[in-house]
Amino acid sequence: MQIDWSQFTPWTALAGGLLIGLGASLWALCNGRIAGISGLIASLLERQSDGLAEKAVFLGGLLVAPLVWSLWAPLPAFNLPVAEILLIPAGLLVGVGTRYASGCTSGHAVCGLARLSLRSLVATLCFMASAVGTLYVIRHVLGG
């Protein structure tokens, strides 16, 4: 393992994490829900009657965040270092996988871990391991 200190951004990472945590906390304290983005998208798709409007508003806030950001500062870099065609299998796997797992990075690795949920700990370990493994195969075995 070799740490790339030139790319390490501890302060913005920590501050960004604090904002994510604040958003998740506000949503839990005031709306009584888990800020799990895959679950929120799914309940909108399935038009579940429970809290549909407030869920849509939460996702609306998430959606316009870059517009609000760009009022004050240029948007942070976006760099996709892989072939665009990979977005299709990636999206499909993330869609099916997060439904079977009832959660993604936000629901399990942030909210679930903060709730000290065993399910979320297992989920986080599984998707971290398979993400690291997948990237390892692509970058260091296949040499893409």
Partner 1 sequence: MRFLTAALAGLLFGLGLLLAGMTNPAKVLAFLDVAGAWDPSLALVMLGAIGVSLWPMQWTKKQAKTLLGSSLHMPTQRRVDQRLIFGSLLFGIGWGLTGICPGPAVSLLLSGQGAIALFFISLITGMGLFRVLERLFPHW
Question: Interaction with partner 1 in 76-95: which residues (CB under 8 A)?
Answer: 76-82, 84, 86-95
Residue 61 binding partner 1, by CB under 8 A: yes
Task: DSSP for 95-106, please give it.
Answer: HHHHHHTT--II
Decide: is 2 part of the binding site for partner 1 (CB under 8 A): yes
Mask of contacts with partner 1, 11-30, x by CB under 8 A? -xxxxxxxxxxxxxxxxxxx
52 binds partner 1 (CB under 8 A): no
The DSSP letter of residue 78 is -
CB of 40 to partner 1, least distance (A): 9
Q: Which of 8, 47, 49, 143 is close enough to bind partner 1 by CB under 8 A?
A: 8
- Tell me 37's DSSP state: H
Rounded to the nearest 10°, the torsion over CA 3, 12, 114, 102 is: -80
Contact indicator for 35, 110 with CB cutoff of 8 Å: yes
Written as six digits, the tokens of 85 are 């065609």
- Residues in 106-125 that interact with partner 1 by CB under 8 A: 106, 108-119, 122-124
Element (DSSP H or E) covering residue 90: helix 87-100
Q: How far is the CB of 89 from partner 1 (least distance, A)?
A: 6
